[in-house]
Chain A
Amino acid sequence: MAQAAIELIGINKSFGAVRANRDINLEVARGTIHGIVGENGAGKSTLMSILYGFYQADSGEIRVGGKPVSISTSNDAIALGIGMVHQHFMLVDNFTVLENVILGAENDALLKSSIAKARSELERLEREYGLEVEPDAVIEELPVGLQQRVEILKALYRGAEILILDEPTGVLTPAEADHLFRILKQLKEQGKTVVLITHKLREIMAITDTVSVMRQGTMVATRVTKETTVGELAELMVGRRVLLRVEKGQSEAGAIKLSVKNLTVKDQRGVTMVDDVSFDVRGGEIVGIAGVAGNGQSELLEAISGIRHAVSGEVMLEGKPVDLTGKADPGELRDRGLAHVPEDRHHVGLVLAFEENENSILGYHDDERYLKGPFLNVDAIMADAKDKIEKYDIRPGNPRLRTANFSGGNQQKIVLAREMEQDPGVLIVGQPTRGVDVGAIEFIHKRLIAMRDQGKAVLVVSVELDEIRSLSDRILVMFAGRIVGERGPDATEGELGLLMAGVEHQEAAE
């Protein structure tokens, strides 16, 4: 039996009335990849934050390599060989890779000698683990997948033997995720221990040796991965059977509610991100836009919702034209029945510093229901927020809690509840289930389909092929700013994958 790299014994942690971790026991064997799954708010991040010294447990013991330790800051954790890669990177955007890696670990008074030493060490690490990144590249110019590698390098550079990854694949494209897993396997072969938090059960099955399941702050089971199934894990997480693919009836497409013609959008640098795109969405259908991240989907959504000005194009909303090239603003579009769940909930869809109830009216704060003259109608806002909390099972159910203190999946539900409950004619959704647990995915998918069945037009953009395939009535594939193909919901993954890689596009051009 391999020796345990980490043992957590009887860990408890409360935030006020919320018991985020109760009596958690966890043992992770050295040289293995250990998965942790659980619903949103189950306490996964909290547990790992305790191990990494961000939080102090109220009670309980941590052993590293068999010895009881006390970890009160992340420096303690680093000294014990524990490294963590956060879901939201903690990199300095305008520093180079090398500068980021040594930041906080400079050990000479003169930067120059540190840098020289660091460079050779960094190159060694890159070779050893297949973590190719250009040391002199500036962070903000790197795609997210590479930025994440820098985070891993940072941890390894500080001598990490145990690497914790909190939802590392949420922001990655499938190819990037595959590469990450190859790196993790290599780390494992070199004897490192990896703890992986993820909501994607397929990843758990593909890469972990053992997996632990958390539910509502407790550890409900630990399984050897080979001896379990996705279905069992999902059921353990949620405490009931979960539909991994929501059933839906035939769509009854009605009149065109959103029509986009020859839309062209440029980004800040003047690069064309959306190139002459045209499509329609009818009432009663869900149109999915598939594509590898960065092929213009984000800009497309931003333009249609009025956040970003388009260069040219004609858009009709409920049969009436919208001037997206300058005049339209998101507030006006909202009034005309367009609801938008943005991809980036942290900076766009929510104000994290606000209380939950304040976020539940963001964008609808002009609505008479929430106002008494120039004043906010606090009672109405609270009642409304409580109502949505109940309907969408947002936890913890406290509308006065600061939004930053909700777990990722629950933050997403706050946005979805706000947008769906306005009863819009057209709903556009970016990454509907990013960072959301299987139970909540089922719930969100059911809601989206219910919207469709009420005759709303729904446009979904997602980098998750599974999601696109199970939700959409029609699938559009975007590549390099253009729509390169349209398929039905029964298109195979391989077929869509080729389109997404631009393969057929080139063939057609030949």
Chain B
Amino acid sequence: MSTPYAKLPAWADYGLIPLINLSVAFIVAGFVVMLVGENPFRAAVILVEGAFGKGTGIAFTLFYATTFIFTGLSVAVAAHCSLFNIGTEGQAYIGGLGIALVCLSFDSVLPWWVIFPIAIVAAAVFGALWGFIPAYLQAKRGSHIVITTIMFNFIAASVMVYLLVGPLKPAGSQAPQTRNFLAGAELPKLNWIIELFGAKIRSAPLNICFLLALVMAFLVWLLIWRTKLGYEMRTYGHSPKAARYAGISETRIILTAMMISGALAGMMALNPVMGDQHNVAIDFVSGAGYVGIAVALMGRLHPVGIVLAAILFGMLYQGGAELAFEMPAISRDMIVIIQGLVILFAGALEHMFRPYIQAVFASFSPKAVGIEAVKGKGA
């Protein structure tokens, strides 16, 4: 047999299609901007300048991107095992709890470079545990992971509210958050790197978690395409029957994949908690877990794509804030709409333009279609 397979060359698959999707998202967003009576071109300039124009903007963009790299990787690892982890949000939140416990215990006695590794482990372990329970329910009881992970987001939120208005709140404080960490739990900033290039930075939260995120992206690539475990996850992800045939235990692979996914989600909390706010406050994740789904989809579940998509979303966050500030007619909600459009076109409707592009390719260069793109191996 041969199921006909039209395949695009890698550059079209990973470059052209996302670019077209993005352009459409921005064109539609442009109309929305016009509707509220602003000039879409000026808005676009403000957005891009806000994100990349000045050193501070760049630092903020990369700070947000760091968060999204972690959540994007988390979603991607589970997705390679055909598990749709919607629980990144809650796993990150609980990861923050792990960090809080470490920082509150040691910040007065240890320096940051000792606390940081302990906090990484704590964040990962707490996130992994929060991923473990839905995974266990899926593997042993058949409860669908999409449903359980959503439920666990709510449970995480409730648990954290309880802790942050109760046990973790300093006596006498009005704010639902932990006390501020001491210097021992503050991570070094990376702004000096951007300053090397001559830009001036007022104050921005970009910190060494950005480097950690890049290291994790590389490790995820190694895991998925170069380890036995990744091979087993992909086998199960493509065909549970083939995995059974190959002697891969369904329970073990689901538990492992979800725990790695949860660990990555938990590590996301390091960036805002230790790198920026220096405390754990209510709702500090604020939707980054859900953005991770869009980032993973847009990045085609490949770490390189995820880093790029995360930077794009970082730009939308940072540039969007700038835009809301400069153009009063454009409110914060409008920015959310623009982000929503990007998610819609780049994530949900990812395949909308694909058939047409394939048809165009087929008519121009029939030979190009049909060759297998060297798929996602990065090497």
Residues of A within 8 A of B231 (CB): 358, 365, 376
Residues of B within 8 A of A54 (CB): 4
Q: Taking A55-B370, A365-B246 as contacts, is the C-beta distance between A374 and B3 under 8 angstroms? A: no
Asked if B54 CB lies within 8 Å of chain A CBs, one says: no
Which residues of A line the B interface, CB within 8 A?
13-16, 45-46, 49, 54-58, 72, 86-88, 166-167, 305-307, 329-332, 334, 340, 342, 344, 347-355, 358, 362-363, 365-366, 371, 374-376, 378, 400-402, 404-405, 407-408, 435
Contact status B1-A86, CB under 8 Å: yes
Residues of A within 8 A of B5 (CB): 402, 404-405
Residues of A within 8 A of B2 (CB): 45-46, 49, 405, 407-408
Residues of A within 8 A of B198 (CB): none
Asked if B277 CB lies within 8 Å of chain A CBs, one says: no
Q: Pick the contact of A376 from B227, B245, B367 — CB < 8 Å?
A: B227
What 1/0 flags go to B211-242 for Cβ under 8 Å of A?
Answer: 00000000000100011110110110011011
Contact status B245-A371, CB under 8 Å: no
Pick 11 A–B contacts, CB within 8 A, sort by A.
Answer: A49-B2, A56-B362, A72-B359, A88-B1, A344-B241, A347-B241, A348-B245, A351-B234, A354-B234, A375-B228, A408-B1
Contact status A331-B247, CB under 8 Å: yes
Contact status A16-B4, CB under 8 Å: no
Asked if B200 CB lies within 8 Å of chain A CBs, one says: no
Contact status A330-B245, CB under 8 Å: yes
Residues of B within 8 A of A358 (CB): 231
Contact status B372-A348, CB under 8 Å: no
In the complex, besides A45-B2, A351-B242, A374-B228, 10 extra interface pairs with C-beta distance below 8 angstroms are A14-B370, A45-B1, A72-B363, A86-B1, A305-B245, A340-B245, A362-B246, A365-B228, A374-B229, A435-B1
Q: Which 10 A-B pairs have the closest CB atoms?
A: A331-B247, A16-B371, A54-B4, A15-B370, A363-B246, A87-B1, A45-B2, A330-B247, A402-B372, A408-B1
Interface core residue of B235, B238, B247, B371 (most chain A CB under 10 Å): B247
Residues of B within 8 A of A402 (CB): 5, 372, 375
Q: What number of B residues sit within 8 Å (CB to CB) of A?
A: 35
Residues of A within 8 A of B226 (CB): 375-376, 378
Contact status A57-B366, CB under 8 Å: yes
Residues of B within 8 A of A331 (CB): 246-248
Residues of A within 8 A of B366 (CB): 13-14, 55-58
A351 to B244, CA, bound (A): 12
Asked if B249 CB lies within 8 Å of chain A CBs, one says: yes
Residues of A within 8 A of B241 (CB): 344, 347-348
What 1/0 flags go to B1-36 for Cβ under 8 Å of A?
Answer: 111111000000000000000000000000000000
Contact status B247-A332, CB under 8 Å: yes
Asked if B171 CB lies within 8 Å of chain A CBs, one says: no
Q: How far is the CB of B83 from chain A (nearest CB, A)?
A: 17
Q: How far is the CB of A238 from chain B (nearest CB, A)?
A: 20
In the complex, residue of chain B having the shortest beta-carbon distance to the beta carbon of A333: B247
Residues of B within 8 A of A16 (CB): 367, 370-372
Contact status B3-A342, CB under 8 Å: no
A362 to B374, CA, bound (A): 20
Residues of B within 8 A of A307 (CB): 244-245
Residues of A within 8 A of B245 (CB): 305, 307, 330, 340, 342, 348-349, 362-363
